[in-house]
Amino acid sequence: MGSKRNKALQLIPELLKPKKRRIAYDPAQEPPQRRADVQSVYSVFHYNETELLEQQYSSIKDHQDLRKPGYITWINADGLKKEEVEQLCQAFEVHPLLVEDILSIGQRAKMDEMDNRMFCLLPMIYFNNTAACIEFEQVSIVVGENFVLSFQEDATRDVFDPLRHRLRSGGQRLRERKADYLCYSLLDVIVDSYFGVLEKLADKIDEIEDALLADRDATILASISHLRKEVMLMKRSIAPVRELVGGFLRTGNQLVESRHEKYFKDVSDHIIQANDTCENLRDMLSNLQDLYMNRINLKMNEVMKIFTMVSLLLAPATVIGGIFGMNFERIPLLHDQRGFYISVAAMLLIPLMMILYFKRKKWL
């Protein structure tokens, strides 16, 4: 309990730092240009049931022959250079409008079909443990006859390693199926990775809850607000993915075999579950905020109770002192040498009797 509380309290300064992030695509603005100095890596897989050919290039310019008859081709581009993306898409006859979507930044998840090419765009999400926030990477996937192109912004990280391992191991269903099954596999690993991010968000919420129960630090409210924003940002990002997967289920395109529809349905079920998990996390944060406010109100009530009791216990002394302080000539015991001691005794005995009465009534 103590270690979790310390971690949560150490996290609070990071939570309070202002963060500027682009979270929505605005088509009215000038489209952002991809940097020309980005480091790109192109991983090329040609495979069928019996063979796998794997290559890696730092540039696509010198490699014009990227297709192999009799093989399914998967080209994964890490790091997007405008000229090379356009060249690669031109080699596979991808429509210019889809190329524009690939090079865009911050787009909402969606699915399109153009010129016998199926296209989808969705976020790949990571969790930054240091800043306790989620980070996004836009992933674009183009599916054609016997090929899949995937485009990633960050060349240093992705969630596709299990898929690469399955291709290399052989004897897998992935090697026996067509390009639409590879597309399903890419969507599946991306959607499944959302649950890892949601689990880390849940861990941060647990740490904040432990800190809340152990301490009344005012900055805890700021950390709750921060995590709520992260959960809402993630929900807003992954909610359209359900519609994207539904596009593959509703399409009549021959690129998607009917026997593979059940796999896309499974991905759809997973994204529904991820959305439900976001809702649960948001409810947890709302409950934590309510708990925090209730604790503050309870503390305030305790303080007001003490102040009230003190005022009540001092009231008899105030009344007695006021009576004997009146400017009258004749007041009982005013000129009696025992008057002072009698009044002081009354000031002490009456509050003591009040305390005993309050305890009998269980007000103390």
Look at residue 3 in the predicted model and tell me its pLDDT: 54
Q: How far apart are CA 102 and CA 215, in angstroms?
A: 48
Instruction: Quote the pLDDT of residue 62.
Output: 65
Q: How far apart are the C-alpha atoms of 5 and 212, rounded to whole Å? A: 8
- Crossing angle of the two packed helices 219-250 and 179-214, in degrees rounded to 10: 160
165/295 Cα distance (integer angstroms)? 51
Owner of token pair 């014009």:
64
The pLDDT assigned to 23 comes to 47
Amino acid at 111: M
Q: Going from the N-terminus, what domains does the chain have, and what CATH number goes with each?
A: 2-295 (3.30.460.20), 302-360 (1.20.58.340)
Query: In this predicted structure, what is the pLDDT of residue 218?
Result: 64
Query: What is the structure's pLDDT at 363?
Result: 78
pLDDT by residue for the chain (364 residues), tens digit each?
A: 445 445 544 554 554 454 545 445 454 454 556 666 678 888 899 988 888 888 888 887 766 678 888 888 999 998 888 888 888 898 888 999 999 999 888 888 999 998 888 999 999 999 988 888 899 899 999 999 889 999 998 878 888 988 888 888 876 788 888 889 999 999 999 999 999 999 999 998 888 888 877 765 667 888 888 888 999 999 999 999 999 999 888 888 888 888 888 999 999 999 999 999 999 999 999 888 888 888 888 888 888 888 888 888 888 888 888 877 777 777 777 777 777 888 888 888 988 888 888 888 887 7
In our burial notation (b when 16+ CB lie closer than 10 A, e otherwise), range 283-307 reads ebbeebbeebeeeeeeeeeeeeeee
Between CA 216 and CA 5 the distance in angstroms is 12
Which pLDDT does position 19 carry in this prediction? 52
Residue 245 corresponds to which tokens in the numbers above? 């997967």
Plot region of 132 (φ>0 → left; ψ -120 to 50 → alpha; else → beta): left
Helix/strand/coil (H/E/C) assignment for every residue in the chain: CHHHHHHHHHHHHHHHCCCCCCCCCCCCCCCCCCCCCCCCEEEEEEECCCCEEEEEECCCCCCCCCCCCCCEEEEEEECCCHHHHHHHHHHCCCCHHHHHHHHCCCCCCEEEEECCEEEEEEEEEEEECCCCEEEEEEEEEEEECCEEEEEECCCCCCCCHHHHHHHHHCCCHHHHCCHHHHHHHHHHHHHHHHHHHHHHHHHHHHHHHHHHHHCCCCHHHHHHHHHHHHHHHHHHHHHHHHHHHHHHHHCCCCCCCHHHHHHHHHHHHHHHHHHHHHHHHHHHHHHHHHHHHHHHHHHHHHHHHHHHHHHHHHHHHHHHHHHHCCCCCCCCCCCCCCHHHHHHHHHHHHHHHHHHHHHHCCCC
- pLDDT score of 213: 75
What pLDDT sits at residue 58?
81
